[in-house]
Chains A and B, each alone.
Chain A
């Protein structure tokens, strides 16, 4: 196991390794929890949780590193093509609240076991022109209603569901990367090499609704966490954001929630002047943005360096 963890791109040290060994033990014991990926040790939440290990010891671990190992609610491949009946999911991202905390990205990487180079939720530093003010823009997959990626897929490995979600089936994908070339929002990633799994994801049953285990030579992307939505829960980025930037909801019900508050979608659009990214392309995204006005935080420029992207991996 140490050898596996010492693969390039994975930061580890002896202490982390010991911890992880213990965590793996706890997974065996309880079967209900697993340990998050590698980055977790650097982001302590300060909250400790007691976990029973296989040899009967009670240990305390940071709450940030614990995740459910086997989510209960992902549909198998065939069913995942239909979508959740009666729903039309939309997301609203309030740019006035984003301060580039990257908690959304952390949670996304962890829950989807993205241990490699691929990032599903990117946070862009937008600065459209010299005379304009820069702002941070989190960008998941926009789950377009007229998705250019779905149009070009030769084998229907990526598809649009009735509930508005666009998924990728990596059991069917042939890896031609046409969808990546076609996506105007730089959303998709390719597994250029064998993905580095953590031990607890090994043996996990693949579902397009989970997005893992990843497979070499296939495309992957943000999936709106349909396994969470099936349980009536919010996607991980929404719940992880400390500032309530993300709202997720159902267009049919006209309501969206960021966990703290639930609001009328149409009212939110009206009050705050919601818009969609590059409307001119005619892709009709399901993700709406609220402009960065009356910001909660002043824009603090962070040089996007190798180091802080390493952390988010």
Chain B
């Protein structure tokens, strides 16, 4: 593969990352593996003793695991937004960040469903989902929707990678043989001929168009697991769009954080520029406002209507003695903070926007918890159980350990994948565009350092 001047410069910059694993990467990998190991022990306990080791009981039948499931599927929308929508709109500045976005998508779509598996009581019977499928059940819809979405996302990521694999293959990188061979296989004989280029272009366009409705379907169906029941706080018509919006919103937040980390870690200031943070910041601000609007109308209608059963849930969410402070936190950190940070020019800086994203993403995780638990703690018939753990949910260390193991897996996959492919797609910088504009603050980060 012939590289142009810009591509060569970019490739030289990222080459050491692929060629050397580095002591720092080893340290992080081991750190993540330790967390995963702890999670493995927790999982062993859960399988051996049953779900009695979790905080879930007959009333609150779902807890942290389901919150994590929604959360991870939610952040997978990073790819859908940046790669899908921005691709269709032919937004040029997206190019340096599409790889990160699609990696977030694929990795979190792997981890999300794992949490469903952790929640299920009989892992040995998962094949029943295919042996005796019932089309009426929203879970069956989810299995198909997430399966399709995952396949689509993997293909989308791969399509964007084929050209890069060809570059790695031809670059005579100083890497082990198996890795060379791997690139060769994955490049599937791409030589950059006119026909090959055309095929990739058409397939990418098609997938970009497909991935958007797919993403909408996935989170709608997910919300309907709750929306289809007769439970107060769940049985809401706006749950589909509300969940989809929250997902895109949190996905943008995670993307911003990932960009910030990689820019720092691999000195990519020339490519992931301030403008990327600011543009994504604008997107985040708009989504934040829309999310705030949905939140407001959802809780306002429930509170104003003041039906007996809704009231119980609303009371739990608004009451400072119950979940009130958490709810306030989700609204301040999850809605107001990102809007104000981006709105004021003084704070419209990569650092500030990243901090806002960080709090927003945490707030949205808490919000998922607040959607699940208070409703389950408010059954329609009075709860007259004398066993306190049956009345109020509190997650056990097993659930927390597995939650952190999931987060560690996310980081681990990210770390490993970024050692295998370049974080900035090289082939995207072909032809017309002149990508490298050295900004003031990124100039000092310009030198190459092996990770």
Give me the interface of A with B, judged by CB distance under 8 Å. Answer: 117-118, 122, 124-126, 139, 148, 151-157, 172-178, 180-182, 184-186, 188-194, 216-219, 278, 281, 283, 304-306, 309
Contacts and interface: CB of A to CB of B under 8 A. Distances in A.
A182 B134 contact: no
Interface centre among A126, A181, A188 (most CB of B within 10 A): A181
* Size bin of chain B's contact surface: 35 or more
12 contacts: A152-B138, A153-B137, A154-B137, A157-B128, A172-B125, A172-B128, A174-B122, A175-B51, A186-B380, A192-B57, A281-B380, A305-B386
B275 to A, nearest CB: 45
Nearest to B138: A152
Nearest to B116: A176
B61 interface: yes
Contact of A306 (B125, B138, B231, B386): B386
A178 B225 contact: yes
Contact of B58 (A148, A190, A306): A190
A191 B51 CA distance: 8
B289 interface: no
Contact of B133 (A155, A176, A216): A155
A159 B140 CA distance: 16
Contact of A174 (B49, B128, B382): B128
A217 B386 contact: no
Query: Which 4 residue pairs spanning A and B have beta carbons closest together?
Result: A175-B121, A217-B121, A154-B139, A193-B52
Contacts, number: 137
A172 B122 CA distance: 9
Nearest to A149: B229
B229 A181 contact: yes
B121 A186 contact: no
B147 to A, nearest CB: 14
Interface string B370-393: 000000100111111111000000
Interface string B349-376: 0000000000000000000000000001
A217 B50 contact: yes
B136 interface: yes
Contact of B380 (A126, A177, A184): A184
Nearest to B134: A156
Contacts of A180: 58, 61
Contacts of A148: 229-230
B132 interface: yes
A306 B388 CA distance: 10
Contacts of B56: 192
A304 B231 CA distance: 26
Contacts of B139: 152, 154, 176, 178
Contacts of A186: 58-59, 379-381, 383
Contact of A117 (B129, B133, B387): B387
A117 B385 CA distance: 11
Contacts of B140: 154
Nearest to B130: A155
A192 B51 contact: yes
Contacts of A192: 50-52, 56-57
Contacts of B131: 155
Contact of B384 (A125, A157, A189): A125
Nearest to B390: A117
A177 B137 contact: no
Interface centre among A154, A190, A218 (most CB of B within 10 A): A154
A217 B231 contact: no
Given A155-B133, A181-B229, A306-B386, A174 B126 contact: yes
Contacts of A304: 384, 386
A175 B52 contact: no
B121 A176 contact: yes
B120 interface: yes
A153 B134 contact: yes
Interface string B50-73: 111000111101100000000000
Given A151-B137, A216-B121, A283-B230, 8 more contacts: A125-B384, A152-B137, A178-B139, A184-B379, A188-B58, A190-B51, A193-B50, A219-B121
A139 B381 contact: yes
B97 interface: no
Contact of A177 (B62, B228, B382, B387): B62
A283 B230 CA distance: 10
A35 B383 CA distance: 32
B97 to A, nearest CB: 37
B51 A217 contact: yes
